[in-house]
Structure 1
Amino acid sequence: MAGQIIIPVLLLLATGGVTIQAQGPLYPFQNVGTTSPRDDDGSSPRITLQESFNFFGQNYSQIFLNNNGDLTFDAPWSSYIPEQFPRHGGRDIIAPFWVDLDNTLNGDIRYIQHSSGPVLQQVSDDINAYFPALSFHANWVFIATWHEVPYIGESGTETTFQVVLTTDGQFSFVLMNYGSIAPTSRPVQAGYDTADSSHHFSIPGSMTNNAVGSNSFFSLHSNVNVPGRWVFRVDQGSTGYTFNDPCEELHCTEYERCGERDGVYGCFCDEDHHRPNNESYDSNITCSSSSGIMSISRCQLFEAGFHSSALHLQDESCNGTIQDGRLVFHFDNDNHLCGTTLRSNGTHFLYENTIHGDVDTHGVLISRQRTINLRFCCVYPLEQALSMSVGISPMESIVDKKLPFGTGSYRLKMTPYEDEDFLTSFSTNAIIGLEINKVLFVEVKTEGVDEDQLSTILESCWATPVNDADHPVRWDLIDSQCPNPADGTVEVIKNGVSTAARFSFKMFTFTNHTEIYLHCNVHLCLLENNNCTADCSPGHQNRRRRDVSYHDSGSLSLGPLVLGEQQTNGELIYRNGASDHLTSIVTLIVSLLMTRIWAN
């Protein structure tokens, strides 16, 4: 009826006493007008227009209706392979659905011109509803309809669409209306383009799989709020209808498709895309030192009812970024904490944060849920035994531990030094010779953790004559974080104050043995609200112990050093105190048999 916008419902219009049916946003077309010849890649004869039509400054009095879904003004066109707009092709073209179609067996391509009657009035009313400031009164309408025309060589793909040209002598408009669009793997271009492409528009979804099928962007969306209808002003001086393509801004990946849900555009998962771990939105967590990265599937999140732009970490200023179809959040300790907390639960220390957002039922979020909360954490086990083969480096032993998925990792390194300033490490790859009674300086360092939050503690170090940490014959160097009072050569230089712990002792050898093996238990301590250093003054030696479980096992070795001349004096261990005595050489194999991480 006049004065109403056509919406996607069934309408009955009467013209010339004949009842004519319109489908959705399409204007009446059945049983009226002229049928274009049945010819694959063919065109209509030259159609003389009843009124001159202005297309961006060019006035045309003729038009050609091409069977492959487009209109041209200068000549018929048989091109069946669509080209993306802008094409800079030297030809004005209006393409409601440019694709390889075949009307030789099924379907009709019809066209008709109106200069009076209810259709003319309906078009005028519609244009005025979309452009109320123009006071448009159409004096001519041209309608071309492809009714149930299939794609070439694809039975059962009948597709219906329509293009409308109208003018009042001053303003010119093109309307593109879409009915049932069958699926196909063929590319489709929809929109318009001028000869020099100074004016062009491509309907979102063109040349992608979003153009066709039951989820066709052309049919489900609109630039005038009438699903399946797209309207463009195309007269001289016009730049066409301004439409910011939300799909172009979203950059949906090849396994996503752009679509709209409850008024919000987003990327849905492609129908053929596997949805792993749908309940957790295919979450992926990577932890390194005091930083963490969590990513989730954008399309799974959108399908669950949440738009990626509405989510953030505990600090609301920390939003995610889209990378290859995933919403990625990260935090670190370098001015990007984002509300991350560090805590210990007695068995692990954890960096924790939460991805969440509040649902605004009148705004951006599209879920009926009140909130979404996705808690994630980087977990460092409180205790583990680390291992590495002997042959990495005789001077600097390094342990790299790859922790399970979603947990953190760090590295322990033990290095022997020649000097008390810890500047010169033993740097040769050959056999190392150490003099009996010579001071050996040892550093154990934890790398890959936050230096401001964690410290390394040497809980105990001891030596055995064989490569067995549990051997009954042993000599304690450090016990409960303090030097063994029975060995006056041991000095704990630094312990529990940073990620590097240091100690020294004078070299010795076990009686009747040519080698020694050094073992250390190492803990990590959370510095905040904890005293990570021991009081080693007489009567105050720290004896803190923890009942913890072991995970993994292994050894890490340094050396070797070869003993030359054996000395005996009846003691468990032997050190030569005479400065003028020929020095013995011993084998030093330093083993980090097990490493514990301890958080108070």
Structure 2
Amino acid sequence: MGNQKATIENLVPSVKCDADVITVSMSRCLLTTLGYDYTSISINGNSSNLCNYVYEDHVNGTVFENIQTQLKEGFCGNNVTKNSSIYILSNNVHISPIQVGNIITKNPVSLNFNCTYDLTKQVSVNYTLHPISQTIYLPGVNGTGSYPLTMSAYKDPEYITQLQETDNVPIGELVYVSLNVLAVDGDLFALRTVQCVASGTDSRTGGVNLLAGGCKVDNSDIYVNVSENGVSLESRFSFSMFQFQDQTQLYLFCDVLLCDKTANCSRGPSTRSEVVVAALVLGGEIEEAP
């Protein structure tokens, strides 16, 4: 900024509108210069771990603080306005001032942001009310940090239309499963799904392995395909729906871990403590194919 003194008017966040997540970025140096605590950044002042995950990024020698929100109405206070052609998501980033002792000399600041999506072109925006998904927390490499991991089931290979709680899935129909971790530096880390077991009950005991060692398990009766694993912050695989005798639902249990890209991300975990179990119940009932 040369010799000009920075003011609050200079604090304009950069907003990146992706198909499944919105990323808001701000200069750490500018925040500190203006007297604001970059570690206090949150979406809408929400103290939930899902809404205050901040991670740093380095661009041309400048450190930026990034925070993300999912494209879901109500997530961290998201507001959505939509019609048949436009989808607008709006919210704000809340930042507290730096406090020295018990002295506070500034008010917190809230910076509004929004993303507008043209639904006639951007078909991957999803605003279904009750998708089949679950969010848990994944520990970082070497036990540092904790990051939100979402496991979701989709109807299509583009991973656009999520299965709903009331959807009935015919036997033999393909189900597409995504595991995605947020607030992690994708240049340094990758998500690896080590094992996935399908069961007819809420226990993996007696279930069928779909993935083992990060690879599909060959089974002449069940189709399984791994399209992405251990190379990015998302793991994807698909399988053909099947049914256990006398059971009308299918439960998925997946062991996942966050790995360092500089290491061999294709290896299995060295200890059981490295993995976290994500579980998902496919909604509705399994039905016979017509």
TM-score between the two structures when normalised by the length of structure 1: 0.27
Matched, 1:583 2:280: no
Match of 1:438 in 2: 173
Opposite residue 511 of structure 1, the aligned amino acid is Q
Residue in structure 2 matching 1:561, options 272, 284, 287: 284
The 5 Å alignment of 1:303-342 reads 321=33, 323=35, 332-335=56-59
Of 211, 222, 225, the match for 1:491: 225
CA distance in 2, matches of 1:492, 1:523: 16
Query: Residues 294-353 of structure 1, C-alpha deviation per residue, up to 9 Å, x if partnerless?
Result: 9xxxxxxxxxxxxxxxxxxxxxx99953627x899998214176799xxxxxxxxxxxxx
Aligned partner of 2:74 in structure 1 is none
The Cα offsets for residues 384-412 of structure 1, whole Å up to 9 and x where unpaired, read as: xxxxxxxx964242426499xxx644221
2:229/2:236 contact within 8 Å kept: yes
Gaps of 5+ in 1: 1-288, 295-316, 341-391, 535-541, 565-581, 585-600
SS of 1:531 mapped into structure 2: coil
Conserved in 1, the CA contact under 8 Å of 2:56 and 2:63? no
CA offset at residue 421 of structure 1?
Answer: 2.4
Give secondary structure in 1 for the equivalent of 2:57: coil
**Cα gap change, 1:510/1:559 in structure 2, threshold over 3 Å: closer, same or farther?**
closer
Residues 574-594 of structure 1: CA distance to partner in whole angstroms, max 9, x if unpaired? xxxxxxxx628xxxxxxxxxx
CA deviation vs aligned residue, 1:216-255 (integer Å, no higher than 9, x gap): xxxxxxxxxxxxxxxxxxxxxxxxxxxxxxxxxxxxxxxx
Aligned partner of 2:148 in structure 1 is 411
Q: Which runs of 5+ in 2 are unaligned?
A: 1-22, 41-53, 65-127
1:40-51 to 2 correspondence within 5 Å? none
CA distance in 1, matches of 2:200, 2:39: 53
Structure 1 position 482, deviation (Å)? 0.7
User: 2: distance between equivalents of 1:402 and 1:496?
Assistant: 15
Secondary structure of the 2:223 match is coil
**1:447: how far off?**
1.3
Cα RMSD, aligned residues only = 4.2
Mark the CA change 1:555 to 1:460 in structure 2 (over 3 Å): closer, same or farther. Answer: closer
User: d(CA) in 1 for partners of 2:239 and 2:27?
Assistant: 43
The 5 A counterparts of 1:391-540 are 394-399=130-135, 401=137, 408-426=145-163, 428=164, 431-469=166-204, 471=205, 473-487=206-220, 489-527=223-261, 529-532=262-265, 534=266
- Residues 394 and 560 in structure 1, CA contact (< 8 A), matched pair in contact too: no
CA–CA separation in structure 2 for the residues paired with 1:478 and 1:400: 20
In the alignment, which residue of structure 2 is the partner of 1:158? none
Check the 8 A contact 2:171/2:241 in 1, yes or no: yes
Q: Report if aligned partners of 1:417, 1:424 keep a CA contact under 8 Å in 2.
A: yes
When residues 530 and 549 of structure 1 are mapped into structure 2, their CA distance, relative to the original with a 3 A threshold, is closer
Q: Return the letter of the residue paired with 2:35.
A: Q
Which amino acid counterpart does residue 284 of structure 2 have in structure 1?
Answer: L
Compared CA separation, residues 432 and 339, structure 1 to 2 (3 A): closer
Matched position secondary structure for 1:422: coil
> 2: CA distance between counterparts of 1:334 and 1:438?
44
Q: Deviations over 1:74-101 (max 9, x none)?
A: xxxxxxxxxxxxxxxxxxxxxxxxxxxx
Write the distance in 2 (CA, Å) between the matches of 1:445 and 1:559.
Answer: 17
Q: Percent identity?
A: 24
Alignment of 1:80-479 (within 5 A): 321=33, 323=35, 332-335=56-59, 394-399=130-135, 401=137, 408-426=145-163, 428=164, 431-469=166-204, 471=205, 473-479=206-212
Q: Deviations over 1:532-563 (max 9, x none)?
A: 2x4xxxxxxx6x33125379x88654442214
Equivalent residue, structure 2, for 1:369: none
Q: Which amino acid counterpart does residue 436 of structure 1 have in structure 2?
A: I
**Residue 515 of structure 1 aligns to a residue in which SS?**
coil
CA distance in 1 between counterparts of 2:228 and 2:215 reads 11
| CA distance 1:425–1:525, shift in 2 (3 Å) | same
1:489 is displaced (CA, Å) by 0.9
CA contact 1:415–1:444 (8 Å) conserved in 2: yes
Q: Which structure has the bigger radius of gyration? A: 1
Work out whether residues 137 and 148 of structure 2, in 8 Å CA contact, stay in contact via their aligned partners in 1: yes
What is the distance in 1 between the residues matched to 2:129 and 2:137? 17
CA distance in 1, matches of 2:138, 2:213: 29
Q: C-alpha distance in 1, partners of 2:60/2:239?
A: 42
For residues 453 and 409 of structure 1, what CA distance do their matches in structure 2 show?
Answer: 16
Q: Which amino acid aligns with 2:153?
A: P
Amino acid in the other structure paired with 1:395? P
Partners of 1:331 and 1:337 within 8 A in 2: no
Tell which has more relative contact order, 1 or 2 (C-alpha 8 A, sep 6+).
2
Preserved contact between residue 331 and residue 338 of structure 1 (Cα < 8 Å)? no
The C-alpha deviation readout for 1:430-452, integer Å capped at 9, x for no partner, is: x1111101111111111111122
Any idea what SS the aligned residue of 1:549 has?
helix
TM-score (norm 2): 0.52
